[in-house]
Structure 1
Amino acid sequence: MTSSSTDARPQVREYAYDHFWTFTSERQQIFERRLLGLPGPWTRDPILARFKFCNVYRAADRVSQHLIHDVAYRPDAGAVADRIFQIVAYRHFSSIRTWVDVCQLLGHAPTLEDLASDAFEDALSATRHHNGRLYTGAFILCATDAYGRSVKHLNHVELFRHMFLRSDLVEKVRTAPTLAAVFDTLKSFPLMGNFMSYQIAIDLNYSEVINFSEDDFTQPGPGALRGLRKTFLSPGGLSPSELVMWLVDRQEDEFTSRNLPFAGLFGRRLHAIDVQNLLCEVDKYLRVAAPELASARTKIKATFRPNPDPIELFFPPKWRLRTTAGRASPNSGPFGQEQMAVV
């Protein structure tokens, strides 16, 4: 995807548009304060202090961190085809507990051999029986019985078999000319809608399997679309994807004009996937900050409770993020060679 036209003139809803940038700055500062080990409270914003919001950068969220470190860059993942299968399967459940339990039952990260032999299916079913659930509650997956099985996770197992045992998904992903082509390939399968296809395309792009700019392509999900409707009075002829890129293009000017602190993720600017996610989070924020902007969702369900389990931040080494004590530095080594704890 090319950058949105600088001549485009979408019409913003000024106070909602301002909230987008102030929210982004303050939410990133919360992340940085916690990273530095400062004691709470980490914000004076009453909404951010009370409710749970995702990190500004998708890759910094706990589930994505686990996927990047323990799936995409797991040293014993096996063949490239196995790694692609693991990334695709992981994102469908987006549950650290599910993945850890399945790996423990198998004795290793699931492979295509496990998928073919029913060992993966059996491990999933045993995990469901023991834990009571397999999937995150963060988003709703298409749950039709497209493959004729009566339980959701069994239909997803059949989807994986279709993708990896009866189709050439691996080859199409490895030879895809663009991020959009990866998305289109994923979306061609049953049960794979726009949202999940885009999320998995980004996850695959974290790994060493493919390497495209995250600004090449974007596909706003339902929450992002709600955020766009609240943030803009008129799109000015731009599509939702182009509006996301319009925001990406303007970020430095908007932070500077508002005198808002924002150094990015150890110097990494916002990319389309981050802005897409931010629009979803700002939609949530505006349910409280501007309740007159009605949408299908009126409340924020999750309140903020610090997770007591520390994680070691690890980002794709190919990003070459540089950090010293949580701050961007031109002199430290590539991020990924060192790890930093955050709770």
Structure 2
Amino acid sequence: MPAIRTSVKTSRTPYSAPQQKRLTRDSFLVEDLSDSTSCSDFDESYVQRALLLPSGKSSSGRRQPSTSAHPSKSRVASTKCTADPITIKGITFHPTVVFDTFWRWAFERKAIDDRRRSGMDAPWSEDPIFQRYAFCNTFRVLDKLSQYIIREVIEKGSQEPNEVVFRVILFNSFTKIDTWELLDNELGPLTWPRYNRAEYQKVLTRAKRAGTTLYTGAFQKPSPKFEFKDAHINHLCLLEVLMESDLPSRLMNAKYLAEVYEYLLSFPSMGEFSTYQLLLNLMYTNVLNFSNMDFVIAGPGATSGLTKMFGAKKMKAAKHAVPGIEEDLIRWFAENQNAQFERLGLKFSGLGPDRLPMDLADIEHAMCEVDKYSRQAHPQFKGKSIHIRAIFHPSPGIYPPTPVLPKAWKHPDRKILRIWPGPRPTKDPRYVVSRIKAHRDGARGREYKVSWSGYTDADDTWEPEQGLLQDAPGAVNEYLASL
């Protein structure tokens, strides 16, 4: 198996003491803490295929849920913004009309989900944009893909950390339900001890040659540059690398969620967006028990949404003056959501029986969707894209009246806020071991001659056994087995 060698780096030291305190997500519905995806235009697996409703009654005469405003009064788009300026870290932002649209969009998209789950007939909103185009849910956990990951990938099968992490990484490698079910039907049960690259490769290659699309259409998944031509084989290699790095133990022993993100980001082909999506999926498990208010990364869609809310020049200057200001804005949105809904006269229903507010990932997720919504509602605010590709098509079958929420969310550690006080995480690449060619006895013990993926024989190096056993045990074992 390929293996990873960590690059030589000095560990980051936080520049201030850890910020830890007890909290509940409900506290953000009450307190005003103002000083404090990732979605696709076209991927069906990331979009709840909801239709929208035109009046107080469905065609069957059933009333709407009491948590949702009358559809005729819940149009999302407005013509002016009524919000006051926002000041964060000395920078004052003057909201545009898209700022108010964000809150109205979040309210109406959740109301649509509520109405649909109550059993009402379509359509579920009078908003013509919602009627024509498909959007992700206000809460990421309610999206079809998240519901599937929780129900079928995480909470089915062994709950041993190694097994849970293996299943999440395998699913995340392709982020497509059909690919997971193909592997499960052909090779299941899918477990780390039974994993065999050759068998997985055979199944996936046969499906690809038959014209099956193995990957999500939601976002690009560039493969790491291992020694294979096919992306799916290289992604299997990356899966092996992550598992051999003892990832489950690193997750469970991490002190900050930002450290986990930075560690995952260091692996080949892991970009900021793909790393954050993997992190969020792992957050549905019991091996990564952190608060959903600890950490966020603004993806391209959220960045575009913020630009429309506060202006391109303002956001460019703010990002230059305060690195990470986009994440600060996302946190402000999360911590002030109750006041914003109240300002606009919206009774937000929240998530689940506890009526949980949006967390950081939900805000980031929704900003991406509002960016898309604004292409139709507010075309005067320009972005890289001007069209919404995801046309709404209702999915067949019965819409579950109650969504599944991760069992891991009940863990007490989820109520402890642990915000990383250091700088914004950055990528520090790791080097991939292609193979071990020889060994020798050095002054400090056994050493191995390592060939690095992507480099020539002239770049081979002698590495101490102790480091390789920690970072690349599979490569060492394969070499020793070949002697």
Map of 2:120 onto structure 1: 38
> In the aligned structure 1, how far is the partner of 2:92 from the partner of 2:212?
47
User: What does 1:127-276 correspond to in 2, within 5 Å?
Assistant: 127-130=207-210, 132-143=212-223, 146-165=225-244, 167-233=245-311, 234-235=314-315, 237=322, 239-266=325-352, 267-276=355-364
1:114-125 mapped onto 2 (5 Å cutoff): 114-125=194-205
Report the Cα distance in structure 2 between the residues aligned to 1:111 and 1:33, rounded to whole angstroms. Answer: 39
Q: Aligned partners of 1:271, 1:92: CA distance in 2, in Å?
A: 25
Residue matched to 1:282: 370
CA–CA separation in structure 2 for the residues paired with 1:131 and 1:73: 31
For residue 92 of structure 1, the aligned residue among 164, 173, 182 is 173
1:125-146: CA deviations, max 9, x gaps?
A: 2333445111111111224x51
Larger strand share, 1 or 2: 2
- Count of aligned positions: 316
2:405 to 305, 315, 320: 315
- Quick check: 2:111–2:349 contact (8 Å CA) kept in 1? no
Cα pair distance change 1:192/1:115, threshold 3 Å: farther
| Code of the aligned partner of 2:385 | R
Matched position secondary structure for 1:118:
helix
Q: Which moved more, 1:30-39 or 1:205-214?
A: 205-214
1:185-230 CA-to-partner distances (Å, cap 9, x unmatched) read 2111001111111111111111111211111000111111111111
Displacement of 1:152 in angstroms is 1.5
Give the residue type in structure 1 aligned to 2:254: A
Alignment of 1:48-87 (within 5 A): 48-74=130-156, 76-77=157-158, 79-87=160-168
The answer to which of 174-183 and 308-317 deviates more is 308-317
**TM-aligned CA distance change 1:39 to 1:229, over 3 Å:** same
Per-residue displacement from partner, 1:86-116 (whole Å, max 9, x unpaired)?
A: 11221232211111111000131x2223444
TM-score (norm 2): 0.62
Aligned residue number for residue 330 of structure 1: none
Q: Which has the higher helix share?
A: 1
Is the Cα contact below 8 Å between 2:248 and 2:287 reproduced in 1? no
Gaps of 5+ in 2: 1-17, 20-32, 37-86, 411-483
Q: 1:250 to 1:174 in 2, by over 3 A?
A: same
Q: What residue number does 1:325 align with?
A: none
TM-score (norm 1): 0.86
CA contact (8 A) 2:208 2:214 kept: yes
In structure 1, distance between residues paired with 2:222 and 2:109: 30
Higher RCO (C-alpha 8 Å, min separation 6): 2
SS for the counterpart of 1:162 is helix
For residues 56-88 of structure 1, what are the alpha-carbon distances to aligned partners after superposition, in whole Å with 9 as ceiling and x for unaligned? 1111000110001111111x2363212101112
Alignment check: 8 A CA contact 1:116 1:161 kept = no
Matched-pair identity in %: 32
Q: CA deviation at 1:150?
A: 1.3
Contact 2:96 2:308 in 1 (8 A): no
Find the aligned partners of 1:229 and 1:271 in 2 and give their Cα distance: 21
CA shift for structure 1 position 318: 4.0
For 2:123, what is the secondary structure of its paired residue? coil
Q: 1:334 — aligned with what?
A: none
**In structure 1, what residue type is equivalent to 2:179?**
T
Task: Give distance in 1, aligned partners of 2:228 and 2:162.
Answer: 25
Equivalent positions of 1:292-311 (< 5 A) are 292-310=380-398
**Native 8 Å contact 1:16 1:231 kept in 2:** yes
Q: Tell me which amino acid in the other structure corresponds to 1:232.
A: F
Distance 1:136 1:310 in 2: 24
* Distance change (3 Å), C-alpha of 1:217 and 1:311: same
Corresponding letter in the other structure for 1:209: V
Q: Is the 8 A contact 1:91 1:200 kept in 2?
A: yes
Query: How far did residue 4 of structure 1 move?
Result: 6.7
Matched residues in 2 for 1:319 and 1:288: separation?
A: 36
Structure 1 contact 4–245 (Cα < 8 Å) conserved: no
CA displacement 1:249-299 (0-9 Å, x = unmatched): 110000001001212112010000000010100010011111121111111
Query: Is 1:4–1:242's contact at 8 Å kept on the other side of the alignment?
Result: no
1:172 Cα deviation from its structure 2 partner:
1.2
Q: Aligned partners of 1:95, 1:81: CA distance in 2, in Å?
A: 21
Question: Which residue of structure 1 aligns with residue 55 of structure 2?
Answer: none
* Distance in 1 between residues matched to 2:291 and 2:368, nearest whole Å: 21
Match of 1:329 in 2: none
Deviation of 1:118 (Å): 2.6
Structure 1 unaligned blocks of 5 or more: 321-343
Given that 1:4 and 1:243 are in contact with CA atoms closer than 8 Å, whether structure 2 keeps it comes out as: no
Alignment check: 8 A CA contact 1:202 1:214 kept: no
Change (3 A) 1:250 1:152: same
Larger Rg: 2
2:176 partner amino acid: S
Tell me, yes or no, if the aligned pair for 2:186 and 2:203 is still in contact at 8 Å.
yes
SS at match of 1:282: helix
Q: State the Cα distance separating 1:55 from its structure 2 match.
A: 0.6
Contact preservation (8 Å) 2:116, 2:399: no
Alpha carbons of structure 1 residues 192 and 164: separation in structure 2 relative to 1, 3 Å: same
